[in-house]
Amino acid sequence: MDQTTIFVAAVLAAAAPLIFATMGETLTERAGVVNLSLDGTILMGAMIAFAVALNTQSVLLGFGAAALTGALIALVLCFLSLSLRQSQTAVGFVLALLCTELSSFLGAPFVRVPGPAVPFLPVPGLANLPVIGPILFRHDLAIYTSFLLVPLVGWLLFQTRAGLTLRALGERPQAAYARGVPVVPMRYLVTVAGGALVGMAGAVYSLDLKQGWSYRHTFGAGWIALAIVIFGGWRPWRVALGCYLFAALEIMALRMQSVLSGLPTQVFQVAPFALMIAVLVLVNLAGSTHMSRRIGDLPPSLRRPAQALVDRLAAPAPAALGQPFERP
Amino acid sequence: MQVSVHNLSKSFGSVRANDRLTLRFEAGKIHGVLGENGAGKSTLMKLVAGFLRPDEGVIRFDGRDAALRGPGDALRAGVGMIHQDPLDLPAFTALENLLCATPRSAIASWAEGRRLLVELAGRLGFTVEPEMPVARLSIGQRQQLEIIRLLARGARVLILDEPTTGITAEQTRALFAALRQLAAAGNTVLFVSHKLEEVAALCDTVCVLRAGRLVGEQMGMPVPQAVLLGLMFDTAVAAVRGAEAPPAGDGGTLEPPVTRPVAGEVVWRLEGVTAREGAVTLRNLNLEVPAGRVLGLAGLDGSGQQLLLRLLAGHARPDTGRVLVGSTDLTGAGSRAYRAAGIEYLPADRLAEGVIGALSLSDHFALQQTGRLVDRRQAERAAREAIAAYGIKATPVTPINALSGGNQQRAMLALVPPRCRGLACEQPTRGLDVASARTIWHSLLARRADGCAIVFASADLDELIEYSDEVLVFFAGQISPPLPRAQLSVARLGELIGGVGFAEGGTT
C-alpha cells in the first residue's frame, strides 16, 4: 500500500463522526431548526456510549444509548424553543455548555478505562481490490455507515415526497401549514431524529476513532460540524466534502508537524477554519443581489454560463432557518 | 360544493372583523365578495379555508357542519384558498411545489405530477412549466400554480383573495377565463375584490361587507354600480346625514380656514417622474404643490399614494424625471437632503418608521441636537413645550411606546421642526378616535397657516373631503387630475377609488 492510499483511507475514516453529526444537523436545519447544542451532544453521546458499552460489553447498545441521548437533548431543545418559544440560539448554546460540563461530571468514573470498540471488518472479497479495496472496504461498520449516510440523506431530502415536506418546513412553514402539514410536530420529529445522529457521532469517537473516554474527549467537534453544515450550503454532498476536507487538513497538520518543524503547528490547526471562512464568503457572494446585477451587465454570450455557475455555487440557507412558526 | 356560513363571528382584540355573517355560496357559480379595506372579506375567507377559527357560528360544506382545525381539514373537505401573496415555496420548482405535502392518493408519482401540471396548465391556458423555479415566476404565474395545485388535490371550492392585485391585464384575462371554465364544471369560486368592474365582469352573484357586517345580501349580477358603491362606502347614510344637518354644523370650532394663505412659492414640483416600487408604477407624473396647500391622496392601499409620499420625502428615487423642492433640484438625493430643504415625512407605521419606541420624547429632542454632547436640559425644555403645545398626555421621560396612538402621532408632529416647508403624511389619523384626529388636524392646519404645504394619504373619505384643498385619486398607479374640494362628494370619490372612469389597460 502506498502512502496516498493510506492517507485517503485515513481521511475517510477520520471524517466519519463529522459525517454523522453534520448529516443530523443538515436534516435539522433543513426543517428550519438550529440545533446549536452539537458540541455538548457529541460529548454526551461519546461518554454515554462508552459507559453503556463498557457495562454491557455491547458496542451496539452503546450506539443505541448515544442515539437516545442525542434525541433526548434535541427533545429538550424542541420543547423549549418550539413549544415554549424561546430563542433557538440561546437554548442551543446553553445546552451545549451544560452538556459539556455534564459529560465531564458524569463521565469521571470512566476516564482512561480500557473498553470495547467497534471491531475491524473488511468486506470479504471487495477488500482485496487494488486501490479502492484499502480505501473503501477495510474499515468497520460505523465507517461504512458514514459512507451510506450521505447518499441516504441526499436522497431523502431531494428525491422523496417526505423530503419536499421537510424542506418546506425550513423554507416557508406557513406554506407547509397551508398544505395541511402539522408544522410543530414535524419539526419535533426531524430535530429529534437529527439529534440521534449527532449523538451517534459521539459514539463513533469513543467506540471507534478515539477509543475510550477522557475529560472533554471530543471537544470542538460540534462547533466544527456546525460550521461545515453552513460551508456545505445545507447540501449533503457538499457538506460531506467539507467533512473530508477538514479531516484531510487535520491529518496533514499532524504529519507536517514533523516535516515542517519550523512552522508552528497552530498554522495547520487553524488552516481548516481560515479556508472555511474564505469559502463561506465566496459562496455568499455568489448568491448576492450584487452578483446578479453584475451578471446582468455581462455581454449576452457570457451571461448564461455565468448565471449557471453562480446558480451552482450559490447555496442559500433555508429561508425560515431559526424562525419560530406562528399559527395564523 | 355548496358553502354556507351561519352567524359567523370573529374578533381581533376589540375589533369585530366578522359580525354574525350568514351567507350561502352555491356550487357552479362565481361569487363576488365586495368591500373596502378592512371590511372583513379576508377574515371571512380565512375562516372558510380553516386558517382562522370562528369565535361563534358554523361553516357548512354541502349542508354538513365543518369543524375546521386548520387549512388541512378544509383541503381534505375540498376547499382551497389562494392568498393575495401566494403561499408557495420560492426555493422549489413548480413541480416540487405541486408535490409538496400533496397526498399520494391525489398524485401518485413525480411523473404523474409532471403530466398533471402540464395538462391542467394547458387546459386552463396557464403558462407554468414543471421545471421553472418559483422564485423566477411572476405573481400571476404563482397564482396559476396554486390554482393547479389545489385542483390537483381535489379542491372543488376555490377562494381567491384579491387575485388581480399585481398581475398583468393578460394574466387577469387568463385567470377570468379559467375561473369561468372551473365554475362551468361545477366548482364553486369565491372571488374577493374591491374592484367593482372586475366583479361586474366575472361574478354571478355579489355580496357586500362593511365593517365586518353583511350590508348587501347576496344579489344576482348585474347590480348597478351606484348601488354597490353605496353599500361599500355607506354613501346612503352620508347623504341622509348631509341632508339633516348642515355640513359645517358638526364641524364645530376646528373648521379649517377657507381663505388660503398667500399662495406664492411652490414647495414641490415633480417633472415627468416615473417611479416603481413593488407592484406599483407611477408614470410620467407632473405635479406642483404650492405653499399653504393641503393635497389629499385617495385610493385603496397600495395604489401608489405611499410611493408618491415617499418620492416627495426622498425615501424613494424616481427612475426618470426630476423632483424639485423650492427651486433646488433634489432628484436622487437622500432623505437627509430633503430634510435640510425643509421636507418632513410622517409615516403611517409610527413605531416602525416614525419614532423610536423605547426612547422618551426628550430623548427624541436630544436626537435632533447638533452638538456632540447631549444637552439634557434643552431637550427636556423642548419636550415640555411640545407637551403643552400639542396636548400630549405624557411626561418628558415616558417612553414613546407607552403612549396611546393619538399621543404618539402628536409627539411625531411635535418633533417636526418649525421651519418645515412641506409635510408628507401617510394616514395621519389612522387608528385614532375622533377627538385625537381633530387635534392632529388642528396642528396640521396651524402648520398650513404658516405656509407649510401638506400632502396626506388617507383611507377616510370624509377626512379627505373635509381637509383637502385638492384631492388626487390613485387607482393601480394611475392618478386622476387634481380635483378641487368644491367638486367632491363621498360618492364621487368612492367611484374613482373603485376605478370607475380610469382608462383600462393601465393595471400593470
B486 domain residue, yes or no: yes
What confidence score (pLDDT) does residue A111 get? 92
> What are all long-range contacts of A129-134, with beta carbons under 8 Å and residues at least 24 apart?
A131/A5, A134/A1, A134/A5, A134/A6, A134/A9
The stretch B93-111 carries a mean pLDDT of 91
Of B124-128, B149-153, B312-316, B369-373, give the lowest mean pLDDT range: B369-373
Let me know whether B374 and B330 are in one domain: no
Which of residues A36 and B210 earns the better pLDDT score? A36
Chain B positions touching A167 (Cβ under 8 A) are: 89, 91-92
Largest pairwise CA distance in chain A: 69
- Alpha carbons B398 and B141: distance in angstroms, whole number: 50
- Alpha carbons B95 and B110: distance in angstroms, whole number: 8
pLDDT band (50, 70, 90) for residue A280: low
Let me know whether B269 and B407 are in one domain: no
Q: Which domain holds residue B390?
A: 360-416
What confidence score (pLDDT) does residue A239 get? 92
Question: Could A175 and B70 be called an inter-chain contact, meaning their C-beta atoms sit closer than 8 Å?
Answer: no
What confidence score (pLDDT) does residue B253 get? 40
- pLDDT tens readout for residues A140-162: 999 999 999 999 999 999 999 99
Let me know whether B103 and B222 are in one domain: yes
Number of CB pairs, chain A paired with chain B, less than 8 A apart? 64
B304 domain residue, yes or no: yes
Among B185, B200, B233, which residue terminates a domain? Answer: B233
Measure B193 CA to nearest chain A CA, in Å: 21
Let me know whether B321 and B175 are in one domain: no
What confidence score (pLDDT) does residue B260 get? 47
- pLDDT tens readout for residues B261-274: 455 688 888 888 88
What confidence score (pLDDT) does residue B93 get? 92
Let me know whether B369 and B433 are in one domain: no
- Alpha carbons A101 and B176: distance in angstroms, whole number: 64
DSSP states along B394-440? S-TTSBGGGS-HHHHHHHHHHTS-TT--EEEEESTTTT--HHHHHHH
Among B383, B399, B416, which residue terminates a domain? Answer: B416
What confidence score (pLDDT) does residue B165 get? 72
B508 domain residue, yes or no: no
Q: Are strands B213-220 and B280-290 parallel, antiparallel or unpaired?
A: unpaired
Question: Which residues lie closer than 8 Å to B446 by C-beta, 6 or more apart?
Answer: none
Which of residues B285 and B165 earns the better pLDDT score? B285
pLDDT band (50, 70, 90) for residue B89: very high
Let me know whether B171 and B279 are in one domain: no
Mean residue pLDDT of chain B comes to 83
Let me know whether B135 and B50 are in one domain: yes
Question: Could A179 and B75 be called an inter-chain contact, meaning their C-beta atoms sit closer than 8 Å?
Answer: yes
B426 domain residue, yes or no: yes
Per the structure, how many domains does chain B have? 3
The stretch B440-453 carries a mean pLDDT of 87
Task: Give which of B51, B85, B87, B100 to mutate to test A binding, by max A Cβ within 10 Å.
Answer: B100
Let me know whether B30 and B92 are in one domain: yes
- pLDDT tens readout for residues B309-325: 989 988 888 888 889 88
Let me know whether B101 and B122 are in one domain: yes
Among B385, B400, B416, which residue terminates a domain? Answer: B416
What confidence score (pLDDT) does residue A90 get? 94
Least CB–CB distance from B71: residue in A167, A178, A316: A178
pLDDT band (50, 70, 90) for residue A80: very high
Let me know whether B260 and B176 are in one domain: no
Let me know whether B98 and B159 are in one domain: yes
Q: What architecture (CATH level 2) is domain A3-313? A: Orthogonal Bundle (1.10)
Mean residue pLDDT of chain A comes to 89
Cell reading at B111: 411523473
CATH code of B206's domain: 3.40.50.300
Question: Could A179 and B88 be called an inter-chain contact, meaning their C-beta atoms sit closer than 8 Å?
Answer: no
What confidence score (pLDDT) does residue A284 get? 66
Let me know whether B377 and B452 are in one domain: no
**Which percentage of chain B shows pLDDT scores above 90?**
25
- pLDDT tens readout for residues A281-309: 776 677 666 776 677 677 777 777 877 77
The stretch B105-128 carries a mean pLDDT of 91
Neighbours of B13 (CB within 10 A): 6
Measure A155 CA to nearest chain B CA, in Å: 14
Q: Is residue B247 over pLDDT 60?
A: no
Task: Give which of B68, B76, B81, B87 to mutate to test A binding, by max A Cβ within 10 Å.
Answer: B87
Q: Is residue B245 over pLDDT 60?
A: no
